[in-house]
Amino acid sequence: MRCPTCGELMDCRRETYQYTGAGLDNVFLTDAQVCHCACGESMVGLPALPALHQRIGELLVAKPSLLTGPEIRFLRKNLRLNGQELAHWLGVDRATIYRWESGAQTVGKAHDRLLRLIYAAVKRMPTEHVIESFQGIEPRQKPAPPFEIPAGNGMIASLAS
């Protein structure tokens, strides 16, 4: 593959790639095709983003501790809701959503559960599994462990160097 910046051949290999496009720092695509050029340009083969984001959402809904601010933001954005809309759905004000997402305030267990159920229902996930997992949710926030998601064969997308 040729570099879109300088036209030279790129060195492509399979490796684990940290995907930060979801706003989370713990998503890793395993076996992703990553191409590097001597000029500093990088490209990565990404799986279909809607399917990738769906998988990240599923992993977050099943997470065994309260959602963190970036995780709440990811679920909200993946539902294509703004802060005011999510606030309306959860019965809180927009400032509360902002405080949760910024980490200034911890989401309560009831709102955490409601957000997970809303996400599961909108994304047509089986809600029984979500409800069963509530018994094991720790009543404090912890970042999710690293998510390793197989990249498979994806489209090549340019990344900022």
Domain CATH number, residue 98: 1.10.260.40
What's the pLDDT tens digit per position in 85-102?
Answer: 999 999 999 999 999 999
CB 67 within 8 A of CB 107: yes
Residue with tokens 């509530």: 134
Are 78 and 128 part of one and the same domain? yes
Residue with tokens 């998510």: 147
Q: Provide the domain limits for residue 30.
A: 11-48+147-159
Q: At what angle do helices 109-122 and 83-90 cross, to 10 degrees?
A: 110
110 and 80 housed in the same domain: yes
In 7-160 the beta strands, taken as DSSP E runs, fall at 11-18, 27-36, 42-46, 65-66, 138-141, 147-150, 155-159
In a domain, residue 154? The reply is yes
On whether both 109 and 75 belong to a single domain, the answer is yes
Q: What is the DSSP letter of 153?
A: S
Q: Output the pLDDT for position 154.
A: 44
- In whole angstroms, give the CA distance from residue 72 to residue 44: 27
Of 136 and 69, more confident? 69
> Quick check: is 124 in a domain?
yes
Count of domains for the chain? 2
pLDDT of residue 136: 66
> How far, in Å, CA of 142 to CA of 133, rounded?
16
Residue 3 covered by a domain: no
Q: In this predicted model, which residue has the larger pLDDT, 76 or 55?
A: 76
Judgement on whether residues 69 and 35 belong to the same structural domain of the protein: no
Query: What letters, b where the CB count within 10 A reaches 16 and e where it falls short, cover 135-156?
Result: eebeeebeebeebebebbebee
